[in-house]
Amino acid sequence: MKILINLPRKVLVSALTLSAAVAAFGVTAPSATAQEVTLKLHTFLPPVANPVKTFMIPWIEKVQKESNGRIKVQGYWAQQLGGKPPQLADQVKDGVVDIVWTLPGYTPGRFPKTEVFELPFVHRNARSTTLALQDFFDKHLTDEYKDFHMLLPHAQQGFLFQTKFPVTKFEDLKDRKLRAPTRVGVWMLEEMGSVGIGLPLPQIPSALSKGVVEGVLLPYEIAPAVKTQDLVSYFTDLAQPTPRLSTSIFTYLMNKASYDKLPPDLKTVIDNNARHSIAEWAGQNWEDIEVPGRKVVESKKKNKFSTLSEAETNKLRALQKPVAERWFAEMKKIGVDGPALMADAEALVKKYDEKNM
């Protein structure tokens, strides 16, 4: 059957010309499957923050390049689309945005099994904990994140004390008002005799300026984003071999429907830039960005740096048991074997610790 027989002459000529071009030069009309998508990424960090500059923006560029520009990711920084940091998980779950970078600890009790890596001294460094998290997620956390498409759970390098007062011994922390990002962090501070206050990162500058807190638990990499190099003067690590008390766990979450509606080839691009495929990069990145963060802090002559003695560090290490037992009790309430989870997390971190490889 000749399907063009009744077409007007001009249309028929154009159609035949196009067919000739296809035959002669291999020109193909755009495929119906060459779908383009724009994804909205939302987070609480400003664009000048090290995690944005060294990970999120490079991740966006990588995804866009590998999709030949068919996936466009628009970053919205510093809660630009509204809401507060604890609302980010619901924003991506409900489809208000497509991707968020946030802390599970901002919504206490919502992702309880993830907290095991935030218990004192379970964490060693960003790389080993981030790699361990991928295996742990596959084994233990899929139900905890069933409402999301997980792009990456990861860790930062870990906390040191950033305070307005010198910390040379355990007793210096007693009755001091200190900020922690999660409920496990608050529990640690309470065991030290401090007044533990849970605050999202963007509230730190105001809280330090107004005296709501006298110090914070943070890594160096985030100091420039919240101005602790200006707002406190004392930076205290723990003794080796574990110089950081604990860490925060972060999650890169995608809306399930946003992922599910992608064509197969674009799902592959996302998959190639998620979880096990990028864990090594992410973990190493969070180790590396401690260096420029510390340089900013060191640029202020007023700032002083110290390391707790081994004896004082061991006093803090003794806090692991009561904090862990408190977490075990919370796990028992929801029918979870907390000690088994902790043993598994510690074994995985040890497995991936570069010192043991």
Domain of residue 334, CATH code: 3.40.190.170
Task: Copy the structure tokens of residue 267.
Answer: 């799902």
- Average pLDDT for residues 277-303, to the nearest whole number? 97
Q: Which domain holds residue 242?
A: 160-247+296-356
Domain co-membership, 62 together with 165: no
Q: Please tell me the predicted confidence (pLDDT) of residue 355.
A: 59
Determine if the pTM surpasses 0.85: yes
Domain co-membership, 276 together with 318: no
Residue 30, in any domain of the structure: no
Query: What is the number of other CB atoms lying within 10 angstroms of the CB of residue 313?
Result: 20
Alpha helices in the chain (DSSP H): 9-25, 50-51, 57-66, 88-93, 126-136, 183-191, 204-209, 223-226, 228-231, 256-260, 264-271, 279-288, 290-298, 310-317, 320-333, 338-352
Residue 266, in any domain of the structure: yes
Report the range of poorest mean pLDDT among 20-29, 50-59, 145-154: 20-29
Domain co-membership, 150 together with 205: no
Q: Which of residues 229, 258, 288 is at a domain's end? A: 288
Better-scored residue on pLDDT, 23 or 135: 135
Task: Copy the structure tokens of residue 192.
Answer: 């030290």
Domain co-membership, 218 together with 261: no
Rounded to 5°, the CA angle 78-82-86 comes to 75
Residue 12, in any domain of the structure: no
Band (pLDDT 50/70/90 cuts) for residue 327 is very high
Q: Residue 294 is which amino acid? A: R
Residue 135, in any domain of the structure: yes
Residue 5, in any domain of the structure: no
Domain count, the chain: 2
Domain co-membership, 42 together with 149: yes
d(CA 79, CA 57): 16
Element (DSSP H or E) covering residue 150: strand 149-155
d(CA 107, CA 76): 21
Residue 23, in any domain of the structure: no
Look at residue 62 and tell me whether its pLDDT is greater than 80: yes
Task: Copy the structure tokens of residue 1.
Answer: 């059957």
Domain co-membership, 90 together with 227: no
- Average pLDDT for residues 133-162, to the nearest whole number? 98
Q: How much of the chain, in percent, has pLDDT values that exceed 70?
A: 90
Domain co-membership, 230 together with 306: yes
Taking each helix axis as running N to C, give the angle between helix 320-333 and helix 183-191, from 0 to 180 degrees, rounded to the nearest 10: 140
Domain co-membership, 203 together with 74: no
Altogether, the residues listed in the chain come to a count of 357
**Structure-derived torsion over alpha carbons of residues 117, 121, 127, 131, reported in degrees to the nearest 10:** -40
Domain co-membership, 108 together with 135: yes
**With contact defined as beta carbons under 8 Å apart, do 73 and 63 qualify?**
yes
Residue 13, in any domain of the structure: no
Domain co-membership, 253 together with 345: no
Helix/strand/coil for 42: strand
Band (pLDDT 50/70/90 cuts) for residue 29 is very low
Output the CA–CA distances (angstroms, integers) from residue 21 to 3, 7, 279, in the order listed.
Answer: 19, 20, 47
Q: Please tell me the predicted confidence (pLDDT) of residue 28.
A: 38
Look at residue 240 and tell me whether its pLDDT is greater than 90: no
